[in-house]
Structure 1
Amino acid sequence: MTDPREAAARYRARQQSDGAEEDAESGTAPGIAAATDRAAFIETAIQVAIRRGDFDDLPGAGKPLEGLGTHHDPDWWIRRKIEQENLTGLGPLAILLRTEDRELDDQLDLLGREADVREVLVDFNGRVIEARRQLQGGPPVVTEPRDVDAEVAAWADRRAARFDARAAEAPEQPRRRRFGIRRRA
């Protein structure tokens, strides 16, 4: 008694060798007939699925594709993938710099010293200028370097506004004594 898997493997080998002989006789390149058969099989499977109604009532049917803006962005697919997967540090340098530029104010607000803010801005500007100099292909670098003095002033204004908001929120409470012991006079 033969194993059914072995019989199936022999059958497939026979079919493939017959196809190769037919390709050699017809003068076509090997594999073209197999590729044509595969494409026909796929097309038939799609048509059968359509007739069965497998593609009816899919989510998003009849709705516009989300994320299509009013302007043409050739890198929409990579930007969407990076956002969906929440990937950092991957992708073309131009897109990474755009993302960093968008989030830079929030990152600066986490810093406590003006010297640290200046250091981060100088580093960011250096990377933007270096990216503009390199011709590695990919999307163009449209991110502008930031004016360090103006950004430091904006950072200081945001910081002062945060401190004022905190002071307005928390009413001043009377100080408590540390040990609660009263001294007699």
Structure 2
Amino acid sequence: MPEHDPVRDAARYRVERDSAGERPEQEHAAPRGRMENRHQWVDVVIDQAIARGEFDDLPLAGKPIPGIARHDPDWWLKALIEREQISGVLPEAIQLRKDDAVLAERLDGLRTQDDVRAAVEEFNARIVSARRQLMGGPPVVTPLRDVDREVQAWAERHRPPEPSPEPAPTRRRWGRRT
């Protein structure tokens, strides 16, 4: 068990206060435990944590929180998506842009031209499907990929390098030194 438990300390504080006969300043105040008095309990817990030094030497102490300089109500959600690299929850138009940017790397991991052709056709089908849906969100601006051109580019990237021609042997001249 931790030595300083904020919940237990707050409960002790309440019991000691009640046993001493202290009463709220206002006789018609709401009974303890309701939401109206929670802020007092939170203040006590925070004051105790400060006294124990739990807020000393925090990593960003005195510095602005990164990523919230601009006024964006969804800054925390965007930071979470970026930090955790969450995918599949973006609008399809934005997900297609991200997938388009890494398509060549994805194709390089495939082994055959048939696999490359199937992957590009599936990507194009996703673009066409997203253009047909009227779900709202950003417009789909990702262009369709030419399947034959992508297969050819993949084949060029996977072509083994041609051996360089060996230099012709040079003739040695045996001559006298003078």
For the superposition of Structure 1 and Structure 2, which TM-score range results when normalised by the shorter chain? Answer: 0.5 to 0.7
Query: Is the Cα–Cα contact under 8 Å of residues 107 and 119 in structure 2 kept in the other structure?
Result: yes
Q: Deviations over 1:10-61 (max 9, x none)?
A: xx9xx9xxxxxxxxx95x9x88971122111102221332344321111233
Q: Name 1:116's counterpart in structure 2.
A: 118
Gap change, CA 1:154 and 1:69, over 3 Å in 2: farther
Unaligned runs of 5+ in 1: 1-11, 16-24, 172-185
The CA distance in 1 between the partners of 2:106 and 2:142, in whole Å, is 16
The yes-or-no answer on 1:50 pairing with 2:47 is no
In the TM superposition, residue 154 of structure 1 has moved relative to its aligned partner by 5.1
CA distance in 1, matches of 2:42, 2:156: 64
Partner-residue secondary structure (3-state), 2:34: helix
**Residue equivalent to 1:157:** 153
Identity score, percent: 26
Does structure 2 conserve the Cα–Cα contact (< 8 Å) formed by 1:125 and 1:145?
yes
Contact 2:131 2:140 in 1 (8 A): no
CA spacing shift, 1:75–1:50, aligned 2, 3 Å: same
Name the amino acid aligned to 1:61: A
Specify the SS of the correspondent of 1:100.
Answer: helix
Q: Deviations over 1:87-126 (max 9, x none)?
A: 443x243454444333333223344236424412321212
Cα-Cα RMSD? 4.1
Any conservation in 2 of the 1:118–1:148 contact (CA below 8 Å)?
A: yes
Shift in alpha-carbon separation, 1:134–1:154, aligned structure 2, 3 A? same
Structure showing the higher helix proportion among its residues: 1
Distance in 1 between the 2:68 and 2:139 partners?
Answer: 18
Instruction: Give the paired residue count.
Output: 138
Q: Counterpart in 2 of 1:147?
A: 144
Q: Distance in 2 between matches of 1:41 and 1:126?
A: 56
Distance 1:104 1:144 in 2: 16
- State how far apart, in whole Å, the 1-side matches of 2:109 and 2:149 are: 15
Instruction: Choose which of 93, 96, 100 in structure 1 pairs with 2:91.
Output: 93
> Contact (CA 8 Å) 1:128, 1:144: kept in 2 or not?
no
Residue type of the alignment partner of 1:157: A
Determine the C-alpha separation between the residues in 1 that align with 2:36 and 2:108.
60
Deviation at 1:86, TM superposition (A): 4.6
Q: Which amino acid aligns with 2:41?
A: F
Unaligned runs of 5+ in 2: 1-14, 19-26, 165-178
- Return the TM-score normalized by structure 2: 0.52
Native 8 Å contact 2:49 2:55 kept in 1: yes
Does the CA contact (< 8 Å) of 2:124 and 2:145 recur in 1?
yes
